[in-house]
Structure formats: structure tokens, C-alpha cells
Amino acid sequence: MKATPAGALPHIVIVGGGFGGLWAARALALAPLRITLIDRSNHHVFQPLLYQVAGAGLSGTDIAAPLRYILRRQRNVTVWMDEVTGIDLDARRVRTRRRSLAYDGLIVATGSTDTYFGHEHWAANAPALKTLDDALVIRRRILSAFEAAEREADPARRRQWLTFVIVGGGPTGVELAGTLLEIARHTLPREFRHAHPGDAIIHIVEAGPRLLPAMPARLAAIARRRLERLGARVHLDTAVTDVHAMGVRMAAGAIEARTVLWAAGTAASRLGRALGCELDRAGRARVEPDLSLPGHPDVFVIGDLACVTQDGTRVPGVAPAAKQMGRYAARALRGRLAGATPRPFRYRDYGTLASISRGFALVHLRGLQLHGFPGWLFWLFAHLFFLIGFRNRLAVMWNWAWSYATWQRTARVIVGHDPAAPETPISDQG
Amino acid sequence: MKATPAGALPHIVIVGGGFGGLWAARALALAPLRITLIDRSNHHVFQPLLYQVAGAGLSGTDIAAPLRYILRRQRNVTVWMDEVTGIDLDARRVRTRRRSLAYDGLIVATGSTDTYFGHEHWAANAPALKTLDDALVIRRRILSAFEAAEREADPARRRQWLTFVIVGGGPTGVELAGTLLEIARHTLPREFRHAHPGDAIIHIVEAGPRLLPAMPARLAAIARRRLERLGARVHLDTAVTDVHAMGVRMAAGAIEARTVLWAAGTAASRLGRALGCELDRAGRARVEPDLSLPGHPDVFVIGDLACVTQDGTRVPGVAPAAKQMGRYAARALRGRLAGATPRPFRYRDYGTLASISRGFALVHLRGLQLHGFPGWLFWLFAHLFFLIGFRNRLAVMWNWAWSYATWQRTARVIVGHDPAAPETPISDQG
């Protein structure tokens, strides 16, 4: 590991500014290294609250901050907004769209993306929720559907605009459904004169036998009961066979809906294919117990891009796992540079949270199970605590307090142009 | 004015939800009328602070609120998100992209749009600031230029990325320049390792002999001195003859810059041409002293779309004038429906404000002239006072206090895709 001229500090490249990459960079704060953090966007996003941006409860800037702002005091880091297009493991170089960089150590943390399991053309009619841009697209679709329903005189067509299908019953699907139910039942009704947002129908279509597969069966059943009581229609063991502009088709039957949201599939980032190693079915890199790439002890793969198995089960693709891997890889890399052999990575499971609706969340941690209001209080403080930045915390707290008191959502502003929207967008009138 | 069947309430259509249209709708709150407010967006924007969204100091949702939320308690109003494509004055019908509506009274308040004086192809390289979408485009351009400068190794090309040209020295141009200077000099420097945002050069190019033509000459000179002391280069009596991806050409000389912002021209909304009346050079409708369309006492044209002359000078295209016209037209229309003849519209000038930088603004009202910190305090409270909505006021106050204490800007997140950006945007890497 000596690609760097004598005297110069070793150069570490970190690809990706999500939880994995950012925590790795922070863990190297005091190390005598030169670090380049590359991300194709200029910001870190607090992904667990992305669905609240989609649901117009929070503004995008409440849960995102520029990477170079977060790392401004860490003088050994250069932040680089660019896209990595390839990795040359033998020459130890990372290729971006604009240049090529030599590294002494590499941490790849490009995370996951959505997959439609070979039906990628469904994306136009069923946007997924991975980035801040995705959240703004979904917000626009949801709000525009209610606007279209208000304009529509024909009852059958109005019903199509007031029908929403969420494909996937994992945490994202459940949280989106809860948000949509609240918008429809509580936020909007008084504002419409013709459409009745309260009549909106929200379907959750899940291919597996239950919601929230990462939660204990008891909590998943509670979530289902809660959602059904709020008015959602939950279809289990139901695979979607087609998504089109007017709805979805399933093995048995179809749903007519103008808004379909995709919360069903996650695959590893495409950069995994550039690693030249064995990938699992979801495209994740099979790494060594120390998270390094087989045959390349100077390259670490972490977060959602890494396939790590521990005690027979896979480490889940959640934020705490990515952070732990980021911190671990930073330490392991420093050790390697000093000639040491790192001990294997161990994931510590601190539990799983899922919010269903205002005042109702599920919590599962080490034997403790909470639901309802106590779960929600726990969820609330956990999320505030882990949000990056004092200002963001206060802003989010304030938005939540305001929404709680008024049922209002503060970010209900439709901006941007959505070329793939089912209806031609309304263009310039000025 | 009796297009409505006996027994039904008269139907008033208001086109445009800016200051003019919204104030007209509010002034009709207690009237026994059916009102339809049509806007192509779902929100009202507090335009005087749009430049702060462009400058990443405020989030779009801080200064915008859904029209149907603002009017939720006014049961005689239906809000309609749609685009008006034509008006049939004889049949008394408004045509939208989706349907046609009969009216008994019509208020046209579609405001103004940007003009490039016949060089509309400049728009791609010099975005203007009229809507929330425009503000997000400009924010993206500004932040992306600093990111590009950080990546650029060649000093000459880096200088092009750190050079900004603002075309137009009116309030928008001056406010954008002040914002850009603060971002470059105070917000960003500590975060960059290669580029020096503090070296950024901001040019203001104004075709006329002075900045801020609506202000007294003394205040305009103070504004110029202040901007130059902050580091701006002010070019007066200088017409731009070409705008391209690498900068601007002027009668004498050229400026190489990758970011050009347009604050030079305003023309009336295109809907003016559908009114079949005489238009002035900027496309504004020449209306009667009671703001009605000549020959059509049931149609009122207000705000930036109306050409109103009073005591020999034109009523300016500013928010207070639009609000006054909106309230007046509402009263006049009610009078007409009752058979009365309205007294002519009188504009009351409450003064002009312009903010230059943190702690420095200009105020001109009825003989009183303020500048510097006292002007800024006045500006601050005036803008907070007129912002719509208690929540927005608190959110903006909080953002301002935070920025004031830390020099930070809370909305520095690049989202969305800008097909017209000078550099190919960075696409999906996942």
C-alpha cells in the first residue's frame, strides 16, 4: 500500500456520501491522511425521513445538508461532486466522469438503488423513493393527483385520481401509506370543494405473506391492523404483474389508479459490477469478514453495497449498519496502512423502528417491543437525535410540532416538471 | 351581467393567484358570489423574497403556500389548478386547457413574465427569476458553479466558474448580487480546499445610467457604493449584445463567465393578447380608470398585466400596487353587479425597499429615506409582516436569525435536473 511518493500522506478515496461513506470520513478525522470523498450529489440525506419529504411534511432542506458543510472543519477531506464511472483495482485508480485519481486505500459506499426486477419501464408510472429528487417527484405526483381529482367532473375518473397503490409492504411502503392516509383524511379535506380527499383509497400490495418482514410477526400484525383501521387496503401474497398509466395488474384482479408508488425492490448500486468480485442476487459484493474485497486488502466495500452474513443471517441494509461499517472500515484501513490485520466486522443490532401514523410507531429492540404512542415517542426522539446538525434538528422539531398541533403539512408546494407524469404537466401561462 | 340562471349566485372567475388575484379573492370573502380562482401552479409565492430562495438562504416552502390552504375557510372560492388558454369576451367564457367556464365577472391577474427583448434563446444561458421553479434553477446554477470551480485544475477555467454576471441593475439584480457576494465571501470559503470562493467576481451590467431606477438618485448611489465596497463590479450605460455559454458580450468588451443571471426585462403575461384591447410596449393592457377593459365593464385587468397611469407616471409593477388593484377590482365588481358605477382607482405609494446585504437595505417612503442598518431593520420587519401565514413568518424569522448568527445558508442543497445548464449534469451513479 505505497502508491504515494515518499513524504506525501497516503490518499484515501471514499465513494459515496451516505451513512457509510460519511461515517468513514468522520472516523478518519484525526488521521494523517489525504481523503477525497466523491458523491454525485452535493448533500448527505437523512434517508429515514425521506418519506416525510415525499409526504410534504418536511422540506428537502430539513433533512439534507451539503457534504462539504458537514465536513468543513475536517481539513484532511476534500469533497468532490462527481460521478465515479469505474475502478481499476490493479492500477489503484478511480475513474470519474472528469478525471482519474490514484488511491492508497479505497472505501466504496455507493449504497443501493431501486429495482423493478427486470421491468424497469414501470419506473415512469411508479416512481421509487431513494433520493431527495425522488421524494420531490413523489410529492408532486401525490399533490397533483388531488388537484386533478378536484378538476375532474366524471365520478369514475375522479375515483381513479383518488386511488393510490403502494407496491411493497416494507418500512418505506408502510410509512408512505401512513403519510398518504393522513394527507387524505386530515390535511386536505377542508380545502377541496368538489373532490373529497377523505374518500381516497390507499392500497398496499405486498408479494410476501406479511408486512414489515424485518419486524417480529406480532408487530407486523399490529401495523396491518392499524393501517386497515385508518382505511388502507392491504393485499398480502399478491404479486404485481404489470404497472401502467392507469393502475396495476395483479395475479388475481387489477386496481385502477392514477398514482402508483414503488417501494418493492432494492438492488445494490451499479458500481458493484466494477469491483470484479462475486455478487449476490441483489448485486451486492461478497466481501471478506473485514469488509475488504477478496484479493484487495486496500479496498473496502460497506453499507448497502456489501453482502455481509453474520451468525447465518444477512446484515440488513439499514442506516445503523452502514454507519457501523463506515467506522469499522476507517479503523481497519488505518490498521492496514500501519501493517496490522483487522479483526472481523461485527454488526450490533440496535433495533428496528417504523412509524405508521401520527402518534403510532413500532419499535423492536433487543427483546423490547413497543407500539402505539410510546413507540412513537421513542421513534420521534431517536430520529431527532440522529439527524445531522443542530439547525436541522430544531427545524424538523418545529415542523413536527406545527403539524401535530394543526394537522397541516408545511411543504405542500408543487414545483418542477415531471416529464413522466401520467398527465401532461401544465406549462407556462405567462 | 346576467349570464347566470335565476337563483344561482353570480360566478366570478379570477385568473392568477399572485398578489392581485389573491387579494381580489380575499376581498370578496363575504360576498354572495361563486368564485373560481385559476392558477397554473398550486401555490402563492411571496415574490419579494424569491431571490433569497435562489440564494439558498430560504427554502421554497418558506415563502410559498398552497392557494387552497390560504383560502380554505373562504367557502365561496373554488381553487382550480389549470392553465387559461383564451378568453371569449362576447360569450363571457374563459377557456382552460381542460374545460370552458362561463363567468358573470372576470378579473385577469396573470402578472408578468421575463423577456429577453427578442433574444429568447439567451434564456438557456441566463435564467431569470420569476417563479419558485426559476429560483431553484438559479440556486442550482450558483451552487454547481462553485462545485465545478473546486474540481477544475486549470486556473483560467476556474476563474470562469467563479465569475458571475447579473444582467440588470433593478431591485432583483441588486438583491441577487448582494446575495451572491455573501455566499462567496462568507458562507462558502471554509468549505473548499482548492477553489477560493472568496475570489469570485460578481458583475452587474445595467443598460441605463444608474442602479435602482425606482429609487431616489441619492439612494441608488449609496447602493452602488455599498455593492462596490463588497466587491461587485458595476457597469452602467452598458448594454449586453450577446449571451452565450461562456459569458456575455457588451458594446465595449466581453466578460468570460459560466454563470449569467437575467434580471433585465419584464413583460406582461401573454394572456394580455387574448384581451383584444390596446397593449403598451411591454404588452400591458391599457385599461379604463376603473381598471376595466374598454367596452367590457365586467372584465377587470389588474397587477403587472395592467397599464395604469396616474398623475402622469405609470403605477409600478410591485406587490403593493397589485394588492391595491385586487382589492379595488373586487369592490368595483361587486358595485357593478349591484348597478353602481365605481370611482376611479387611486394607487397609494407606500414606498420602495431594497436589500443590499446583511444589515444593509434602502428604504424610500414619502420623503423618508433610510439606508444601512436602520433601513435593513425596517426592511426585515416589513417583509416578515407581509409574509402570508404565521408559520411562514416564524420559519423565515428562524432561518434569518440562524443565518445572521452563523453566516450559514440553510437551503444549500442541489436538487433537480437542469437540462439547459452549461455543463452536462451528473447523472445516476447508483
pLDDT exceeds cutoff 80 at B420: no
* Neighboring chain B residues of A194 at a CB cutoff of 8 Å: 78
Structure confidence by residue, pLDDT tens digits, B348-397: 998 889 999 888 999 998 889 999 999 999 998 888 888 877 677 777 87
| Residue A360: how many other CB atoms lie within 10 Å | 20
The pLDDT assigned to A128 comes to: 96
Please name every residue paired with A345 in a beta bridge, in sequence order, or none if there are none.
none
Residue A7, classified by CB atoms within 10 Å of its CB into exposed (0-12), middle (13-18) or buried (19+), is exposed
A11 phi/psi in degrees, rounded to 5? -105, 120
Q: Which segments within B352-394 are labelled E, that is strand?
A: 352-357, 360-365, 368-370
Q: CB of A249 within 8 Å of any CB in chain B?
A: no
Please tell me if residue B60 touches chain A, with a CB cutoff of 8 Å.
Answer: yes
Whether residue A395 and residue B394 make contact (CB cut-off 8 A), yes or no, is: no
- SS3 category, B313: strand
How far is the C-alpha of B64 from the C-alpha of A59, rounded, in Å? 12
* B146–chain A Cβ distance below 8 A for any pair: no
Looking at residue A184, what is its pLDDT? Answer: 95
- Taking the CB of residue A4, how many other CB atoms lie within 10 A of it? 16
Determine how many CB atoms are found less than 10 A away from the CB of residue A38. Answer: 23
Q: What is the per-residue pLDDT across B248-300, written as a single tens digit (0 to 9) for each?
A: 999 889 999 999 999 998 899 999 999 999 999 999 999 999 999 999 999 99
Helix A390-406 × helix B390-406 angle, to 10°: 170
pLDDT in tens, A311-370: 999 999 999 999 999 999 999 999 999 999 999 999 999 888 999 988 899 999 888 999
Specify whether the CB–CB gap between B6 and B87 falls below 8 A.
Answer: no
User: Distance between CA atoms of B51 and B48, rounded to whole angstroms?
Assistant: 7
- Asked if residues B137 and B129 have their Cβ atoms less than 8 Å apart, the reply is no
Strand partners, A288: none
Chain A: residue nearest B115 by CA?
Answer: A430
Buried b (16+ CB within 10 A) or exposed e, A87-98: bebeebbbbbeb
**What is the DSSP code string of B31-81?**
SS-EEEEEESSSEEE-GGGHHHHHTTSS-GGGSEEEHHHHTTT-TTEEEEE
Mutate to test the interface with B, among A415, A417, A424, A427 (most CBs of B within 10 A): A415
- Distance to chain A for B66, nearest Cα, Å: 6
Q: Do A143 and B110 touch (CB under 8 A)?
A: no
In B214-292, alpha helices (H): 217-230
Is residue B183 over pLDDT 70? yes
Which chain B residue shows the shortest CA-CA distance from A150? B80
Look up residue A45 and give its DSSP letter. Answer: E
Confirm or reject contact between A69 and chain B (CB < 8 A).
yes
Distance of CA A65 to the CA centre of its chain: 15
CB atoms within 10 A of CB B324: 22
What is the structure's pLDDT at B390?
A: 67
Average pLDDT of chain B to the nearest whole number: 91
Q: Give catalytic residue positions of B.
A: 175
A151 CB neighbours in chain B (<8 A) are 80-82, 98-99
pLDDT tens profile B192-211: 999 999 999 999 999 999 99
Q: What is the reported pLDDT for B363?
A: 93
As a whole-number percent, the residues of chain B with pLDDT over 70 amount to: 95
Whole-angstrom Cα distance, residue A48 to residue A361?
14
A423 interfaces chain B, CB cutoff of 8 Å: no
Band the pLDDT of B114: cuts 50, 70, 90: very high
pLDDT of residue B395: 78
Contacts of A130 in chain B (CB under 8 A): 430
Give the residue from A22, A35, A86, A65 showing the smallest Cα distance to A325: A22
> Please, which residues 268-297 of chain A have a Cβ atom closer than 8 Å to chain B?
269-271
- Does the CB of B199 have a partner CB in chain A at under 8 Å? no
Give the length of chain B.
430
Rg (CA), chain A: 23
Look at residues A192, A177, A105 and name the one whose alpha carbon lies nearest to residue A146.
A192
Catalytic residue among A120, A150, A152, A175: A175
Which chain A residues are within 8 Å of B428, Cβ to Cβ? 40, 113
What tens digit of pLDDT does each residue of B26-78 get? 999 999 999 999 999 999 999 999 999 999 988 888 899 999 999 999 999 99
Kindly identify which residue of chain A lies nearest to residue B268, measuring between CA atoms.
Answer: A430
Q: Using CA atoms, how far apart are residues A122 and A262, in angstroms rounded to an integer? A: 9
Output the pLDDT for position B424.
37
Distance, in Å, from the CA atom of B37 to the CA atom of B164, rounded to the nearest integer, reads 39
* Alpha-carbon distance B61 to nearest alpha carbon in chain A (angstroms): 5
> Reduced to 3 states, what is the DSSP secondary structure of residue A88?
strand
When pLDDT is averaged across residues B136-151 and rounded to a whole number, the result is 95
Residue A419 contacts B where some CB pair is shorter than 8 Å: no
- Give the minimum alpha-carbon distance from A59 to chain B in angstroms, rounded to a whole number: 7
Q: What part of A 15-44 touches B (C-beta under 8 Å)?
A: 40-43
Asked if residue A321 lies in contact with residue A328, where contact means CB atoms within 8 angstroms, the answer is no
Rounded to two decimals, the ipTM of the complex is 0.88
**Residue B411 is placed in which grid cell?**
437551503
Nearest-CA distance A32 → chain B (Å):
16
A78 - beta bridge partners? A36
Question: Per-residue pLDDT for B418 more than 80?
Answer: no
Q: B355 at the A interface (CB within 8 A)?
A: no
Contact between A80 and B150 under an 8 Å Cβ cutoff? The reply is yes
Interface test with A, best of B44, B129, B415 (most A CBs within 10 A): B415
Chain B residue nearest residue A115, CA to CA? B430
Nearest residue, CB atoms, B66 vs list A71, A391, A413: A413
Q: What's the pLDDT band for B426 if we cut at 50, 70, 90?
A: very low
Task: Give Cα separations from B16 to A356, B31, B326 (angstroms).
Answer: 38, 20, 11
**Predicted confidence (pLDDT) at residue B120 exceeds the cutoff of 80:** yes
Radius of gyration of chain B (CA): 23
Per-residue pLDDT of chain A (430 residues; tens, 9 = 90+): 444 565 689 999 999 999 999 999 999 999 999 999 999 999 999 999 999 999 998 888 889 999 999 999 999 999 999 999 999 999 999 999 988 999 999 999 999 999 999 999 999 999 999 999 999 999 999 999 999 999 998 999 999 999 999 999 999 999 999 999 999 999 999 899 999 999 999 999 999 999 999 899 999 999 999 999 999 999 999 999 999 999 999 988 999 999 999 999 889 999 999 999 999 999 999 999 999 999 999 999 999 999 999 999 999 999 999 999 999 999 999 999 999 999 999 999 988 899 998 889 999 988 899 999 999 999 988 888 888 776 777 778 777 777 777 777 777 888 776 655 545 333 333 3
pLDDT of B48: 92
B404: pLDDT strictly greater than 90 = no
> Cα angle vertex B254, ends B253, B258, to 5°?
170
Amino acid at the residue B331: R
Q: d(Cα B325, Cα B109) in Å, to the nearest integer?
A: 10
Of B107, B31, B15, give the one whose Cα is nearest residue B67.
B15
Q: How far is B269 from chain A (nearest CA, A)?
A: 4
Rounded alpha-carbon distances, angstroms, from residue A197 to A138, A162, A246, B41, B308: 17, 7, 19, 19, 42
Comparing CA positions, the residue from B146, B168, B170, B140 lying closest to residue B54 is B140
